Amino acid sequence: MTCQRTPDGVSTQVYRLTRGTEIFYLRVAENADENLETEAELHQRLRDLDVKVADIVHVEPFNAAIGRSIMITTEITGAPLTPTSSPELARAVIEEAAADIAVINQQPVEGFGWIRRAGAGWPLRAEHPTYPTFLTSDLPQPWPGPLTSLFSIVTIDAITKLIEQQRRRPPAAARLAHGDFDLSAIFCANGHYTGLIDFGEIQGTEPLFDLGHFHLHDQESHPTALLPVLLHGYQQIVPLAADHEESIRRSAVLLGLRQLSRWLDQPGRQWLITDRVQRINELIEQR
């Protein structure tokens, strides 16, 4: 058997294991107190619902040799959608993937924010007990802090109103979000969707968070706007409210703000900050 670090894992270590013609993936927990049995439980429950995710081969709550929890999964065949994927292929694959993300977004979570990896158990549990604390997590306190140097006064006012609107209309309950749902997580082979990968950023959120994430990143790595196709496939499984486009836009803006706020104190992030400011301005102007 051969073992090779994948180029995609950054904070999370992921290794490609090859045994003859079989391929597996080994994931190492980011922190010593994380138990990947949480994700193993999630994978199994999603597979029971016919969602196309990797099967679990082995999981250990703590491996003494490396001081971390580990998990080994089967391979999701193929490769992610790329900028070179034809518009026709991208639309067909996205519509299929939409059904899976719709099922994922219906799964209950206790609390909001990052899922606690404390071991097997259902429903999953998140870090914030209430939505308002999640809503403003990572945002500057006092508001708007350093964001005043990045946005116009008019945009800051619009963002402030958006936050207050969202605060007044919290979701009835938290739902599971993939957390990093964009083209890089959607795999295909021979013109067909093969599954979703990378559940390293699962969260308890408002139900449309993953659609907001997709909207935030739409056309970053593919020239065609794919959100309309995603929404068409999604609504074959879960009907959306009449104001869903506005709700998705709000989720996209709020996610972008939380990302931006985390990056402000991190060196080497200026190009990301510039890109995110531009995208948030575009979303605000869509009102």
Give this prediction's pTM: 0.94
Determine the topology of domain 2-74 in CATH: Phosphorylase Kinase; domain 1 (3.30.200)
Give the pLDDT confidence score for residue 206 in this predicted structure. Answer: 96
Distances (CA, A) of 56 to 39, 62, 205, 246, 253: 9, 16, 25, 38, 35
Question: CA-CA distance, 14 to 11, in Å (whole number)?
Answer: 9
Domains 2-74 and 79-285 share a fold: no
Could you tell me the mean pLDDT of each successive run of 10 residues in the chain, 287 residues long? 73 88 95 97 98 98 97 96 85 96 98 96 96 95 96 97 92 96 95 95 97 95 90 97 96 97 93 96 91
Q: pLDDT value at position 185?
A: 95
pLDDT at 16: 95
pLDDT at 11: 58
Q: Where are the domains of the chain?
A: 2-74, 79-285
Res 220: pLDDT: 86
Classify 79-285 by CATH class: alpha beta
Angle between helices 209-217 and 227-234 (to 10 degrees): 160
Tokens of 82: 């790329």
Cβ atoms within 10 Å, residue 121: 13
112 within 8 A of 128, measured Cβ to Cβ: yes
The pLDDT, as a whole number, for residue 107 is: 98
- For residue 155, what pLDDT is reported? 98
